[in-house]
Chains A and B, each alone.
Chain A
Amino acid sequence: MSRAFVTRLGERHDDDFFEGLDTRVKILTVFVVTTLAIAGPLATQLLLVTFVLALALSAGLWRWAIAAVVFSLLTWMVLVGVATRLQSGGVEDPAGFLVGIMARGNAIFLTAAWLITTTKLYDFGVALESLRVPVAMTLPLTVAVRFIPTLLDEMNGIWDALRVRGLVRSPWDAARHPKRVFDLVLTPAVLRSLRLADELACAAETRGMGGVLRRTPYRPSRMRGKDCVVTAALFGATALCVASAFVVPNDVIAGRINLVVG
Protein backbone atom coordinates (compact mmCIF):
# COMPACT_ATOMS: atom_id res chain seq x y z
CA MET A 1 0.00 0.00 0.00
CA SER A 2 1.75 3.10 -1.19
CA ARG A 3 1.14 6.79 -0.77
CA ALA A 4 0.02 6.92 -4.40
CA PHE A 5 -2.70 4.46 -3.56
CA VAL A 6 -4.04 6.65 -0.76
CA THR A 7 -3.93 9.61 -3.17
CA ARG A 8 -6.08 7.56 -5.56
CA LEU A 9 -8.63 7.14 -2.76
CA GLY A 10 -8.89 10.95 -2.45
CA GLU A 11 -8.52 12.38 -5.95
CA ARG A 12 -11.80 12.71 -7.88
CA HIS A 13 -12.48 12.47 -11.63
CA ASP A 14 -16.06 13.43 -12.31
CA ASP A 15 -16.00 12.20 -15.91
CA ASP A 16 -15.05 8.61 -14.95
CA PHE A 17 -18.02 6.26 -15.52
CA PHE A 18 -17.17 3.71 -12.84
CA GLU A 19 -16.17 6.36 -10.31
CA GLY A 20 -19.62 7.89 -10.69
CA LEU A 21 -21.35 4.55 -10.12
CA ASP A 22 -23.16 4.15 -6.80
CA THR A 23 -20.76 2.42 -4.40
CA ARG A 24 -23.53 0.09 -3.21
CA VAL A 25 -23.80 -1.33 -6.71
CA LYS A 26 -20.07 -1.97 -6.70
CA ILE A 27 -20.20 -3.63 -3.27
CA LEU A 28 -23.09 -5.80 -4.51
CA THR A 29 -21.01 -6.78 -7.53
CA VAL A 30 -18.11 -7.88 -5.32
CA PHE A 31 -20.49 -9.87 -3.13
CA VAL A 32 -22.10 -11.64 -6.10
CA VAL A 33 -18.76 -12.42 -7.76
CA THR A 34 -17.25 -13.75 -4.52
CA THR A 35 -20.27 -15.97 -3.84
CA LEU A 36 -20.34 -17.38 -7.38
CA ALA A 37 -16.59 -17.83 -7.45
CA ILE A 38 -16.65 -19.87 -4.26
CA ALA A 39 -19.87 -21.82 -4.73
CA GLY A 40 -20.41 -21.91 -8.48
CA PRO A 41 -19.66 -24.90 -10.74
CA LEU A 42 -16.90 -24.83 -13.37
CA ALA A 43 -18.95 -23.39 -16.22
CA THR A 44 -20.17 -20.56 -13.99
CA GLN A 45 -16.63 -19.76 -12.96
CA LEU A 46 -15.32 -19.68 -16.50
CA LEU A 47 -18.09 -17.31 -17.60
CA LEU A 48 -17.61 -15.29 -14.45
CA VAL A 49 -13.93 -14.69 -15.01
CA THR A 50 -14.71 -13.66 -18.59
CA PHE A 51 -17.17 -11.06 -17.34
CA VAL A 52 -14.77 -9.85 -14.67
CA LEU A 53 -11.91 -9.54 -17.15
CA ALA A 54 -14.18 -7.47 -19.42
CA LEU A 55 -15.12 -5.29 -16.45
CA ALA A 56 -11.49 -4.81 -15.42
CA LEU A 57 -10.40 -3.95 -18.99
CA SER A 58 -13.25 -1.48 -19.48
CA ALA A 59 -12.19 0.23 -16.22
CA GLY A 60 -8.65 0.56 -17.59
CA LEU A 61 -7.23 -2.09 -15.28
CA TRP A 62 -5.40 -3.96 -18.05
CA ARG A 63 -2.12 -3.94 -16.10
CA TRP A 64 -3.84 -5.48 -13.10
CA ALA A 65 -5.49 -8.08 -15.35
CA ILE A 66 -2.24 -9.08 -17.09
CA ALA A 67 -0.40 -9.20 -13.75
CA ALA A 68 -3.13 -11.37 -12.21
CA VAL A 69 -3.19 -13.83 -15.13
CA VAL A 70 0.61 -14.11 -15.32
CA PHE A 71 0.96 -14.46 -11.56
CA SER A 72 -1.70 -17.15 -11.31
CA LEU A 73 -0.16 -19.09 -14.24
CA LEU A 74 3.29 -18.94 -12.64
CA THR A 75 1.88 -20.00 -9.27
CA TRP A 76 0.10 -22.94 -10.94
CA MET A 77 3.28 -24.02 -12.72
CA VAL A 78 5.44 -23.76 -9.60
CA LEU A 79 2.97 -25.58 -7.34
CA VAL A 80 2.33 -28.33 -9.85
CA GLY A 81 6.09 -28.68 -10.28
CA VAL A 82 6.67 -28.86 -6.52
CA ALA A 83 3.83 -31.35 -6.08
CA THR A 84 5.21 -33.58 -8.81
CA ARG A 85 8.58 -33.67 -7.06
CA LEU A 86 7.18 -34.23 -3.57
CA GLN A 87 4.44 -36.71 -4.39
CA SER A 88 4.72 -39.62 -6.71
CA GLY A 89 1.40 -38.90 -8.43
CA GLY A 90 1.81 -35.11 -8.55
CA VAL A 91 -1.35 -33.02 -8.43
CA GLU A 92 -4.46 -35.16 -8.69
CA ASP A 93 -6.42 -32.76 -10.89
CA PRO A 94 -4.19 -30.12 -12.50
CA ALA A 95 -7.03 -28.90 -14.70
CA GLY A 96 -9.33 -28.27 -11.75
CA PHE A 97 -6.45 -26.61 -9.99
CA LEU A 98 -5.79 -24.33 -12.98
CA VAL A 99 -9.45 -23.34 -13.20
CA GLY A 100 -9.49 -22.73 -9.46
CA ILE A 101 -6.48 -20.50 -9.45
CA MET A 102 -7.29 -18.72 -12.72
CA ALA A 103 -11.03 -18.37 -12.48
CA ARG A 104 -11.86 -18.22 -8.78
CA GLY A 105 -8.77 -16.37 -7.59
CA ASN A 106 -8.66 -13.87 -10.43
CA ALA A 107 -12.39 -13.21 -10.43
CA ILE A 108 -12.30 -12.27 -6.74
CA PHE A 109 -9.03 -10.37 -7.03
CA LEU A 110 -9.96 -8.34 -10.10
CA THR A 111 -13.43 -7.42 -8.84
CA ALA A 112 -11.93 -6.24 -5.56
CA ALA A 113 -9.29 -4.29 -7.54
CA TRP A 114 -12.06 -2.73 -9.64
CA LEU A 115 -13.91 -1.70 -6.45
CA ILE A 116 -10.90 -0.13 -4.77
CA THR A 117 -9.54 1.68 -7.84
CA THR A 118 -12.85 3.25 -8.79
CA THR A 119 -14.19 4.15 -5.33
CA LYS A 120 -13.23 7.11 -3.19
CA LEU A 121 -12.84 6.58 0.54
CA TYR A 122 -15.56 9.14 1.25
CA ASP A 123 -18.03 7.38 -1.07
CA PHE A 124 -17.25 4.05 0.56
CA GLY A 125 -18.06 5.49 4.00
CA VAL A 126 -21.28 7.09 2.75
CA ALA A 127 -22.34 3.85 1.06
CA LEU A 128 -21.76 1.88 4.26
CA GLU A 129 -23.75 4.45 6.23
CA SER A 130 -26.62 4.22 3.74
CA LEU A 131 -26.53 0.44 4.33
CA ARG A 132 -27.17 1.20 8.01
CA VAL A 133 -23.54 0.78 9.13
CA PRO A 134 -23.20 3.29 12.01
CA VAL A 135 -20.83 6.27 11.81
CA ALA A 136 -19.10 4.69 14.82
CA MET A 137 -17.76 2.14 12.29
CA THR A 138 -17.15 4.40 9.31
CA LEU A 139 -15.43 7.19 11.26
CA PRO A 140 -12.49 5.03 12.44
CA LEU A 141 -12.19 3.69 8.89
CA THR A 142 -11.92 7.21 7.46
CA VAL A 143 -9.45 8.20 10.19
CA ALA A 144 -7.37 5.05 9.72
CA VAL A 145 -6.97 5.36 5.94
CA ARG A 146 -6.52 9.14 6.08
CA PHE A 147 -3.84 8.68 8.75
CA ILE A 148 -1.73 6.21 6.82
CA PRO A 149 0.22 8.88 4.84
CA THR A 150 0.81 10.82 8.07
CA LEU A 151 2.08 7.73 9.85
CA LEU A 152 4.29 6.80 6.91
CA ASP A 153 5.86 10.28 7.23
CA GLU A 154 6.27 9.69 10.95
CA MET A 155 7.93 6.33 10.36
CA ASN A 156 10.28 7.88 7.80
CA GLY A 157 11.16 10.63 10.29
CA ILE A 158 11.83 8.10 13.06
CA TRP A 159 13.94 5.96 10.71
CA ASP A 160 15.96 9.00 9.60
CA ALA A 161 16.56 10.02 13.22
CA LEU A 162 17.79 6.51 14.03
CA ARG A 163 20.16 6.56 11.04
CA VAL A 164 21.56 10.02 11.65
CA ARG A 165 22.15 9.24 15.34
CA GLY A 166 24.03 6.10 14.30
CA LEU A 167 21.62 3.82 16.18
CA VAL A 168 20.80 2.04 12.91
CA ARG A 169 23.06 2.19 9.86
CA SER A 170 21.04 0.36 7.24
CA PRO A 171 17.99 -1.85 6.78
CA TRP A 172 20.35 -4.80 7.32
CA ASP A 173 20.82 -3.67 10.93
CA ALA A 174 17.07 -4.06 11.39
CA ALA A 175 17.29 -7.55 9.90
CA ARG A 176 20.23 -8.48 12.15
CA HIS A 177 18.85 -6.97 15.37
CA PRO A 178 15.09 -6.89 14.84
CA LYS A 179 14.17 -6.75 18.53
CA ARG A 180 16.47 -3.83 19.33
CA VAL A 181 15.35 -1.80 16.31
CA PHE A 182 11.67 -2.61 16.91
CA ASP A 183 12.01 -1.45 20.53
CA LEU A 184 13.63 1.80 19.39
CA VAL A 185 10.93 2.50 16.79
CA LEU A 186 7.99 1.47 18.96
CA THR A 187 8.17 4.18 21.64
CA PRO A 188 8.16 7.25 19.35
CA ALA A 189 5.74 5.59 16.90
CA VAL A 190 3.10 4.81 19.54
CA LEU A 191 3.51 8.05 21.46
CA ARG A 192 3.43 10.21 18.31
CA SER A 193 0.30 8.33 17.25
CA LEU A 194 -1.38 8.99 20.59
CA ARG A 195 -0.48 12.69 20.39
CA LEU A 196 -1.68 13.01 16.81
CA ALA A 197 -4.89 11.16 17.73
CA ASP A 198 -5.45 13.68 20.49
CA GLU A 199 -4.96 16.60 18.08
CA LEU A 200 -7.28 15.04 15.53
CA ALA A 201 -9.93 14.37 18.19
CA CYS A 202 -9.73 18.00 19.34
CA ALA A 203 -10.17 19.12 15.72
CA ALA A 204 -13.17 16.78 15.35
CA GLU A 205 -14.89 18.15 18.43
CA THR A 206 -14.30 21.80 17.59
CA ARG A 207 -15.53 21.15 14.05
CA GLY A 208 -18.92 19.92 15.19
CA MET A 209 -18.61 16.18 15.75
CA GLY A 210 -20.15 14.79 18.89
CA GLY A 211 -23.45 13.79 20.38
CA VAL A 212 -25.39 11.80 17.80
CA LEU A 213 -22.93 10.76 15.12
CA ARG A 214 -25.26 11.28 12.18
CA ARG A 215 -24.53 13.35 9.11
CA THR A 216 -26.06 14.62 5.91
CA PRO A 217 -23.57 13.49 3.27
CA TYR A 218 -22.41 16.17 0.89
CA ARG A 219 -22.28 13.49 -1.85
CA PRO A 220 -25.06 11.07 -0.89
CA SER A 221 -25.40 7.55 -2.29
CA ARG A 222 -27.98 7.72 -5.08
CA MET A 223 -29.29 5.12 -7.52
CA ARG A 224 -29.30 6.87 -10.87
CA GLY A 225 -30.14 5.59 -14.31
CA LYS A 226 -26.74 4.09 -14.99
CA ASP A 227 -26.72 2.38 -11.59
CA CYS A 228 -30.01 0.68 -12.43
CA VAL A 229 -28.65 -0.40 -15.84
CA VAL A 230 -25.47 -1.82 -14.27
CA THR A 231 -27.48 -3.61 -11.55
CA ALA A 232 -29.79 -5.13 -14.18
CA ALA A 233 -26.76 -6.21 -16.22
CA LEU A 234 -25.25 -7.74 -13.09
CA PHE A 235 -28.35 -9.81 -12.41
CA GLY A 236 -28.51 -10.82 -16.06
CA ALA A 237 -24.89 -11.94 -16.01
CA THR A 238 -25.45 -13.82 -12.77
CA ALA A 239 -28.43 -15.64 -14.24
CA LEU A 240 -26.41 -16.50 -17.34
CA CYS A 241 -23.52 -17.80 -15.23
CA VAL A 242 -25.83 -19.97 -13.11
CA ALA A 243 -27.77 -21.24 -16.14
CA SER A 244 -24.54 -22.18 -17.90
CA ALA A 245 -23.91 -24.82 -15.21
CA PHE A 246 -27.08 -26.67 -16.25
CA VAL A 247 -26.16 -26.53 -19.94
CA VAL A 248 -22.52 -27.60 -19.62
CA PRO A 249 -21.80 -30.05 -16.75
CA ASN A 250 -18.54 -29.99 -14.79
CA ASP A 251 -17.11 -33.22 -16.12
CA VAL A 252 -17.43 -32.07 -19.76
CA ILE A 253 -15.37 -28.90 -19.05
CA ALA A 254 -12.86 -30.78 -16.89
CA GLY A 255 -12.37 -33.29 -19.68
CA ARG A 256 -11.78 -30.55 -22.28
CA ILE A 257 -9.31 -28.73 -20.05
CA ASN A 258 -7.41 -31.89 -19.15
CA LEU A 259 -7.18 -32.60 -22.86
CA VAL A 260 -5.58 -29.16 -23.44
CA VAL A 261 -3.38 -29.16 -20.33
CA GLY A 262 -2.46 -32.79 -20.49
Chain B
Amino acid sequence: MTTANERPQSPQSSSRFTVRELVLIGVLTALSVVLQTVVAVGLHMVPIAAIPGLMHGVMAFVSCLVLYVMARKVPRAGTLTIGLTTYGLAVLILKGSVFHSAGLVLGGVAADVFAHLRGGYQGRWTIIAALVLFRVIATAVAQLDKVVKQMTQVHLVWYFIALAILGAAVGAVLGGVAGRRFMDRMERAGVAA
Protein backbone atom coordinates (compact mmCIF):
# COMPACT_ATOMS: atom_id res chain seq x y z
CA MET B 1 0.00 0.00 0.00
CA THR B 2 2.82 2.37 0.79
CA THR B 3 5.57 2.99 -1.71
CA ALA B 4 9.18 2.73 -0.62
CA ASN B 5 10.00 6.42 -1.10
CA GLU B 6 6.94 7.48 0.85
CA ARG B 7 8.77 8.27 4.06
CA PRO B 8 7.91 11.09 6.36
CA GLN B 9 10.71 13.58 6.71
CA SER B 10 13.13 13.15 9.57
CA PRO B 11 13.18 15.48 12.53
CA GLN B 12 15.74 18.25 12.67
CA SER B 13 16.86 20.11 15.76
CA SER B 14 16.98 23.51 13.99
CA SER B 15 13.20 23.62 13.91
CA ARG B 16 12.71 25.31 17.26
CA PHE B 17 8.96 25.57 17.23
CA THR B 18 7.02 22.33 17.34
CA VAL B 19 3.87 21.79 15.27
CA ARG B 20 1.91 21.88 18.51
CA GLU B 21 3.26 25.34 19.37
CA LEU B 22 2.68 26.69 15.87
CA VAL B 23 -0.92 25.43 15.86
CA LEU B 24 -1.49 27.03 19.27
CA ILE B 25 -0.08 30.33 18.01
CA GLY B 26 -2.39 30.11 14.97
CA VAL B 27 -5.49 29.37 17.04
CA LEU B 28 -4.80 32.13 19.57
CA THR B 29 -4.18 34.56 16.71
CA ALA B 30 -7.59 33.62 15.30
CA LEU B 31 -9.10 34.12 18.77
CA SER B 32 -7.54 37.56 18.96
CA VAL B 33 -8.97 38.49 15.54
CA VAL B 34 -12.44 37.17 16.42
CA LEU B 35 -12.57 38.75 19.91
CA GLN B 36 -11.45 42.12 18.55
CA THR B 37 -14.06 41.95 15.80
CA VAL B 38 -16.83 41.06 18.24
CA VAL B 39 -15.79 43.79 20.70
CA ALA B 40 -15.46 46.36 17.90
CA VAL B 41 -18.95 45.54 16.61
CA GLY B 42 -20.34 45.82 20.15
CA LEU B 43 -18.49 49.05 20.85
CA HIS B 44 -19.74 50.70 17.70
CA MET B 45 -23.26 50.40 19.10
CA VAL B 46 -22.53 52.95 21.80
CA PRO B 47 -21.60 56.60 21.26
CA ILE B 48 -18.56 56.50 23.58
CA ALA B 49 -16.73 54.65 20.80
CA ALA B 50 -16.25 58.06 19.18
CA ILE B 51 -13.98 59.25 22.03
CA PRO B 52 -10.52 59.64 20.46
CA GLY B 53 -8.14 56.88 21.49
CA LEU B 54 -10.78 54.78 23.27
CA MET B 55 -11.23 52.31 20.44
CA HIS B 56 -7.47 51.82 20.16
CA GLY B 57 -7.28 51.30 23.91
CA VAL B 58 -10.02 48.67 23.95
CA MET B 59 -8.56 46.85 20.94
CA ALA B 60 -5.13 46.90 22.60
CA PHE B 61 -6.68 45.53 25.80
CA VAL B 62 -8.33 42.60 24.01
CA SER B 63 -5.38 41.70 21.78
CA CYS B 64 -2.80 42.00 24.57
CA LEU B 65 -4.89 39.81 26.86
CA VAL B 66 -4.85 37.00 24.29
CA LEU B 67 -1.19 37.64 23.43
CA TYR B 68 -0.32 37.34 27.12
CA VAL B 69 -1.89 33.86 27.09
CA MET B 70 0.14 33.11 23.94
CA ALA B 71 3.43 34.24 25.49
CA ARG B 72 2.77 32.21 28.64
CA LYS B 73 1.78 29.06 26.73
CA VAL B 74 4.69 29.31 24.25
CA PRO B 75 7.42 31.21 26.15
CA ARG B 76 10.01 31.19 23.35
CA ALA B 77 11.88 34.01 21.67
CA GLY B 78 10.02 34.50 18.40
CA THR B 79 6.54 33.62 19.62
CA LEU B 80 5.17 37.14 19.26
CA THR B 81 6.98 37.64 15.95
CA ILE B 82 5.31 34.53 14.49
CA GLY B 83 1.95 35.29 16.11
CA LEU B 84 1.90 38.91 15.02
CA THR B 85 3.27 38.21 11.55
CA THR B 86 0.44 35.71 11.22
CA TYR B 87 -1.93 38.35 12.49
CA GLY B 88 -0.46 40.87 10.05
CA LEU B 89 -0.83 38.51 7.11
CA ALA B 90 -4.38 37.67 8.19
CA VAL B 91 -5.15 41.39 8.36
CA LEU B 92 -3.61 41.83 4.93
CA ILE B 93 -5.71 38.98 3.52
CA LEU B 94 -8.94 39.85 5.31
CA LYS B 95 -8.79 43.64 5.31
CA GLY B 96 -6.14 44.58 2.79
CA SER B 97 -4.55 47.05 5.20
CA VAL B 98 -0.84 47.26 4.36
CA PHE B 99 0.27 49.61 7.16
CA HIS B 100 -1.76 47.85 9.80
CA SER B 101 -0.02 44.60 8.81
CA ALA B 102 3.43 46.20 8.76
CA GLY B 103 2.83 47.71 12.21
CA LEU B 104 1.87 44.35 13.66
CA VAL B 105 4.98 42.66 12.25
CA LEU B 106 7.34 45.42 13.40
CA GLY B 107 5.67 45.54 16.82
CA GLY B 108 6.01 41.77 17.19
CA VAL B 109 9.71 41.81 16.30
CA ALA B 110 10.37 44.69 18.71
CA ALA B 111 8.52 42.90 21.52
CA ASP B 112 10.54 39.72 20.95
CA VAL B 113 13.85 41.61 20.86
CA PHE B 114 12.90 43.39 24.08
CA ALA B 115 11.91 40.12 25.78
CA HIS B 116 15.09 38.47 24.54
CA LEU B 117 17.20 41.25 26.07
CA ARG B 118 15.29 40.86 29.33
CA GLY B 119 15.98 37.10 29.41
CA GLY B 120 12.87 35.71 27.70
CA TYR B 121 9.17 35.54 28.51
CA GLN B 122 9.63 34.08 31.99
CA GLY B 123 8.93 37.30 33.92
CA ARG B 124 5.32 38.37 33.91
CA TRP B 125 6.11 42.08 33.86
CA THR B 126 8.52 41.46 30.99
CA ILE B 127 5.62 40.05 28.97
CA ILE B 128 3.46 43.06 29.82
CA ALA B 129 6.24 45.54 28.92
CA ALA B 130 6.86 43.69 25.63
CA LEU B 131 3.15 43.87 24.83
CA VAL B 132 3.07 47.62 25.48
CA LEU B 133 6.07 48.10 23.20
CA PHE B 134 4.39 46.00 20.50
CA ARG B 135 1.13 47.86 20.68
CA VAL B 136 2.67 51.34 20.63
CA ILE B 137 4.78 50.51 17.56
CA ALA B 138 1.88 48.74 15.81
CA THR B 139 -0.49 51.64 16.42
CA ALA B 140 2.06 54.25 15.36
CA VAL B 141 2.84 52.48 12.09
CA ALA B 142 -0.85 51.81 11.41
CA GLN B 143 -1.48 55.55 11.63
CA LEU B 144 0.65 56.02 8.51
CA ASP B 145 -2.32 54.52 6.69
CA LYS B 146 -4.39 57.52 7.67
CA VAL B 147 -1.62 59.93 6.73
CA VAL B 148 -1.29 58.38 3.29
CA LYS B 149 -5.00 57.97 2.68
CA GLN B 150 -5.98 61.43 3.78
CA MET B 151 -2.88 63.52 3.10
CA THR B 152 -4.85 66.12 4.90
CA GLN B 153 -3.85 69.48 6.23
CA VAL B 154 -6.46 69.26 8.98
CA HIS B 155 -4.20 69.70 11.98
CA LEU B 156 -6.55 67.93 14.36
CA VAL B 157 -5.56 64.56 12.91
CA TRP B 158 -2.25 64.69 14.76
CA TYR B 159 -4.07 64.88 18.07
CA PHE B 160 -6.04 61.83 17.03
CA ILE B 161 -2.87 59.94 16.21
CA ALA B 162 -1.25 60.89 19.53
CA LEU B 163 -4.38 59.88 21.41
CA ALA B 164 -4.55 56.59 19.50
CA ILE B 165 -0.99 55.71 20.49
CA LEU B 166 -1.61 56.74 24.09
CA GLY B 167 -4.86 54.74 24.18
CA ALA B 168 -3.08 51.72 22.74
CA ALA B 169 -0.35 51.93 25.38
CA VAL B 170 -2.84 52.17 28.24
CA GLY B 171 -4.95 49.38 26.73
CA ALA B 172 -1.86 47.18 26.35
CA VAL B 173 -0.93 47.61 30.02
CA LEU B 174 -4.46 46.82 31.15
CA GLY B 175 -4.73 43.89 28.70
CA GLY B 176 -1.43 42.44 29.84
CA VAL B 177 -2.42 42.73 33.49
CA ALA B 178 -5.83 41.17 32.76
CA GLY B 179 -4.14 38.36 30.82
CA ARG B 180 -1.80 37.77 33.72
CA ARG B 181 -4.68 37.56 36.19
CA PHE B 182 -6.64 35.28 33.87
CA MET B 183 -3.76 32.85 33.37
CA ASP B 184 -2.91 32.81 37.09
CA ARG B 185 -6.54 32.01 37.89
CA MET B 186 -6.73 29.26 35.28
CA GLU B 187 -3.44 27.71 36.38
CA ARG B 188 -4.50 27.74 40.04
CA ALA B 189 -7.69 25.92 39.03
CA GLY B 190 -5.62 23.42 37.02
CA VAL B 191 -7.43 24.27 33.79
CA ALA B 192 -4.90 25.88 31.46
CA ALA B 193 -1.72 24.25 32.76
Contact = CB atoms under 8 A, between A and B. Distances in A.
Contact flag (A, B; Cβ within 8 A): yes
Contacts of A144: 26-27, 29-30, 33, 86-87, 90
Interface residues of A, number: 75
* B contacts with A: majority SS: helix
Interface residues of B, number: 61
Contact of B148 (A37, A97, A204): A37
B5 to A, nearest CB: 12
B22 A136 contact: yes
A193 B28 contact: yes
B85 interface: yes
B148 A141 contact: no
B12 interface: yes
Interface string A29-66: 01000100110000000000000000000000000000
B86 A83 contact: no
Contacts of A87: 154-155
Contacts of B27: 143-144, 147, 193-194, 196-197, 200
A108 B37 CA distance: 23
Interface in B60-103: 65-66, 69, 73, 82-83, 85-87, 89-90, 92-98
Contact of B82 (A100, A119, A136, A152): A136
Contact of A100 (B17, B23, B150): B150
A228 interface: no
A87 B155 CA distance: 9
Contacts, number: 199
* A contacts with B: majority SS: helix
Contacts of A38: 148
Interface in B1-55: 8-12, 15, 17-20, 22-31, 33-35, 37-39, 42-43, 45-46
B33 A148 contact: yes
B117 interface: no
Contacts of B83: 140
24 contacts: A1-B95, A5-B94, A38-B148, A83-B153, A92-B153, A97-B150, A105-B149, A108-B149, A112-B92, A139-B22, A143-B23, A148-B30, A171-B42, A178-B43, A187-B182, A187-B186, A194-B192, A197-B23, A197-B27, A198-B20, A200-B23, A201-B19, A210-B8, A211-B15
Interface of B: 8-12, 15, 17-20, 22-31, 33-35, 37-39, 42-43, 45-46, 65-66, 69, 73, 82-83, 85-87, 89-90, 92-98, 148-156, 182, 186, 191-192
Interface of A: 1, 5, 9, 30, 34, 37-38, 75, 79, 82-83, 86-87, 91-93, 96-97, 99-101, 104-105, 108-109, 112-113, 115-116, 119, 121, 124, 128, 136-137, 139-145, 147-148, 150-152, 155, 171-172, 174-175, 178, 182, 186-187, 189-191, 193-194, 196-198, 200-201, 204-205, 208-214
